[in-house]
Amino acid sequence: MSTSKFDPKEVLANLPNLPGVYRMLDADSKVLYVGKAVDLKRRVSSYFQKSDHSPRIRLMVRQVAAIETTVTRSEAEALILENNLIKALSPKYNILFRDDKSYPYLMLSGHAFPQMAYFRGTPDRQDQLFGPFPNSYAVRESIQILQKVFRLRTCEDSVFANRSRPCLLYQIKRCTGPCVGLISQEDYRRDVQSAAAFLQGKQSELIGELTERMEAASMALEFEQAAELRDQIQALSKVQEKQFVSSNASQLDCDVVAAVVQDGLACVNLVMIRGGRHLGDKSFFPSNAEDSDASANLEAFLAQHYLGAQLPPVILHNVEVSETLRDYLTEQAERRVAFVGNPIGERRVWLEMAEKNATLAISQRLASAATQEMRLAALAEVLELEGVERLECFDISHTMGEATVASCVVYDRGGMQPSEYRRYNIETAAAGDDYGAMREVLTRRYSKIAAGEGKRPDVVLIDGGKGQVGIALEVLTEVGLDLPVVGVAKGEERKPGLETLILPYLEKTLQLRHDHPGLHLIQTVRDEAHRFAITGHRARRGKARTASTLEEIPGIGAKRRQRLLTRFGGLRGVVAASVDDLTQVEGISRMLAEKIYNALH
Q: Give CA separation, 29 vs 7, 12, 63, 87, 94, in Å.
A: 16, 19, 11, 18, 16
Residue 507 has pLDDT above 90, yes or no: yes
Q: Give CA separation, 233 vs 130, 174, 224, 476, in Å.
A: 22, 16, 14, 72
Residue 374 has pLDDT above 50, yes or no: yes
Kindly state the helix (H) or strand (E) to which residue 261 belongs, with its residue range. strand 254-262
d(CA 423, CA 395): 10
Pick from 302, 246, 243, 264: which is nearest to 82 by CA?
302
- At residue 163, the pLDDT reads 86
Residue 38 has pLDDT above 50, yes or no: yes
Q: Give CA separation, 87 vs 97, 257, 335, 418, in Å.
A: 9, 21, 26, 19
Q: Using CA of residue 500, residue 504, residue 506, residue 508, what is the dihedral sign?
A: positive
DSSP 316: E
Domains of the chain, with CATH numbers? 9-89 (3.40.1440.10), 105-248 (no CATH), 249-363 (3.30.420.340), 391-541 (3.30.420.340), 548-600 (1.10.150.20)
pLDDT: which is higher, 229 or 8: 8
- At residue 410, the pLDDT reads 96
DSSP 308: T
Residue 3 has pLDDT above 50, yes or no: no
Summarize the confidence of residues 85-89 as an average pLDDT: 86
d(CA 271, CA 554): 61
Peptide bond into 313 cis (omega under 30): no
Pick from 499, 435, 501: which is nearest to 468 by CA?
435
pLDDT: which is higher, 137 or 34: 34
Summarize the confidence of residues 57-67 as an average pLDDT: 89
- At residue 47, the pLDDT reads 92
Q: For every residue of 122-160, which 3-state class applies, written as one string?
A: CCCCCCEEECCCCCHHHHHHHHHHHHHHHCCCCCCHHHH
Residue 246 has pLDDT above 70, yes or no: no
What is the average pLDDT value for the chain, to the nearest integer? 84
Task: Render pLDDT for 389-406 as a digit per residue (tens, 0 to 9).
Answer: 999 999 998 876 677 899
125-129, 152-156, 244-248, range with the lowest pLDDT: 244-248
CB 174, CB 151: distance < 8 Å: yes
- At residue 150, the pLDDT reads 82
Summarize the confidence of residues 544-559 as an average pLDDT: 70
Residue 102 has pLDDT above 80, yes or no: no
pTM for this entry: 0.56
CB 44, CB 25: distance < 8 Å: no
Residue 21 has pLDDT above 70, yes or no: yes
Summarize the confidence of residues 94-106 as an average pLDDT: 75
Residue 180 has pLDDT above 60, yes or no: yes
Residue 598 has pLDDT above 80, yes or no: yes
- At residue 11, the pLDDT reads 87
